[in-house]
Structure formats: C-alpha cells, structure tokens
Homo-oligomer: A and B are copies of this chain.
C-alpha cells in the first residue's frame, strides 16, 4: 500500500472502519485529505498518525468532543484523565457485580430476574414472595435483607406450597389449620429476628414515606385467605411467645 491511501486502506492500517473515519471527518476531528481526479480521498502519513492518536484517546475513554481540546489544552488533561479514571472504576465495579450476579443465577439455575442475592432460593419461592422481596430490597437495609434470605432458606417447602396454593375463598377450617401449621416457625422467626415485630422501624433512611408501600405490597400480592392465615398465625405466635416468657423465660 503505497501513499496515498484510500479510505478502506487507512481504516485497515489503523484497525478501524471506514465509517469511523468518515465520522471523524464530519466532526472535524480528522483533516479532510486531498481528492484524486475521481473524487476518492487520498490519505497521507499525517492522516494515519492523527487517526491513530484519536483512536488512542477514544480508547482511553476521552469523548470525541473533547479530543480536539486535549491536543490544544494540555493543562486541563490531568483533571480530565482523573475523571475518566473515576468513571472507569465505577463502570468496572458495576460490571463485576453484574458478573457475580450472573454467575449466581447460572449456578443456582435461578430465573434471571430473581431478587439480587436470592438466587439460591429463587426456584423455591412463589411469585408473590419473589415480588415482595423485590420491593423490600428497595425499602429495607442489607442486614434485614440478609435475615430475610435466611428465613426463606429455612422455610419448609411443603408449608410454602400450601400457602402459595391457598385459594382466595378457602374455608374457615382450612385457614385455621394452615395458620396452626405455620405458627411455630413464625414464633421462632420472631425470636431469631426481633425486628420482625416492628419492621417499619427498619426502613432505609433515604426511603421517604414508605410504610404505606410496605403494607400495600403485602395486601396486593396475597389473596384474602392468605392474609387471614398470616394474621391468625401472627397472633398465635405472639401469644405463644408471651406464654413462654411468663412461664419459662423470666426477665
């Protein structure tokens, strides 16, 4: 390839594309070369050098709009580079988190839109539970979320299924029976995770007025029979705890 070079030749030498070169011409970043008699561009060595410098800066993350001034205003360059470095560091962190999350999803064979951190238990969770966790993750801090994960892991699959499949019009007997089955583990949870008795006190600081959200999510995601079972079990669990405190665990 003797000088002068055509656009495809220049692109090939700089390991880029003709579209990229034309784009830089449009932006005024790369000087237009002379034209041959038939209108073809004829690039010289200086164009190749300029193109390589532009590609280098673009590769470092310098916005094309700033590349002209990087040449001109060398004094402001360190600040620009430090800013770029900061952006790159952030981007790398985000991508590394995404990779870790993808690995967890693949490892646990979980749905891709599982709540972050819940991949291990995602396939055992009902739609309602999964939805609720998505919302809670916006409202509760990480320690609470970690506790929720523990609770979900220790949940009995049969009980979870029974709750999940409870029809909205389940009769009195069915509800009461189910409530009694889940009362012990609920009581245990109240012991293991004291904040469960007053979850509203543990909302994220930056989450403004969200107590309503917290409650409305539950009410929306479970049917009346399920909510009734939760309520009955919760009352029974509290009674159980009060009983054991009075009898076996004096303050």
Residues on A lying within 8 angstroms of B by beta carbon are 1-3, 12-15, 44-46, 48-49, 52-53, 56-57, 59-62, 70-71, 74, 77-78, 80-82, 84-85, 88-89, 91-92, 94-96, 98-99, 101-103, 105-106, 111-113, 115-116, 131, 134-135, 137-138, 208-210, 212-213, 216-217, 220-221
Q: How far is the CA of A98 from the CA of B60 in the complex (A)?
A: 5
A210 to B101, CA, bound (A): 46
- Kindly identify which residue among B45, B56, B112 contacts A62, using a CB–CB cutoff of 8 Å: B112
Question: Contacts A15-B138, A220-B45 hold; do A112 and B1 have CB atoms under 8 A apart?
Answer: no
- Knowing A13-B213, A57-B113, A209-B1 are in contact, say whether A95-B91 is a contact too (CB < 8 A): yes
In the complex, 13 of the A-B residue pairs with CB atoms within 8 angstroms, ordered by the A residue number, are A1-B212, A1-B213, A12-B208, A13-B138, A15-B138, A49-B135, A52-B134, A52-B138, A60-B101, A74-B111, A81-B106, A88-B99, A88-B102
A77 CB contacts on chain B under 8 angstroms: 111-112
Whether A92 and B96, one on each chain, are in contact in the complex, defined by CB atoms closer than 8 angstroms, is yes
How many monomers of this chain does the complex have? 2
A113 and B210 within 8 A (CB) = no
CA distance A3 to B92 in the complex (A): 37
A113 to chain B, nearest CB (A): 4
> Given A138-B14, A212-B2: A44 and B220 within 8 A (CB)?
yes
Q: Cβ of A85 and Cβ of B113 under 8 Å apart?
A: no
In the complex, the answer to whether B46 meets A220 with C-beta atoms within 8 Å is: yes
Residue among A77, A96, A102, A210 with most chain B CB within 10 A: A102
User: Which of A56, A98, A112 counts the most chain B CB atoms within 10 A?
Assistant: A112
A84 nearest CB neighbor, chain B only: B102
A91 — which chain B residues lie within 8 A by C-beta?
91, 95
Q: Shortest CB–CB separation between residue A222 and chain B, in angstroms? A: 11
Q: Is the CB of A112 within 8 A of B60?
A: yes
What 4 pairs between A and B have smallest CB-CB spacing?
A: A45-B220, A53-B113, A49-B131, A52-B134
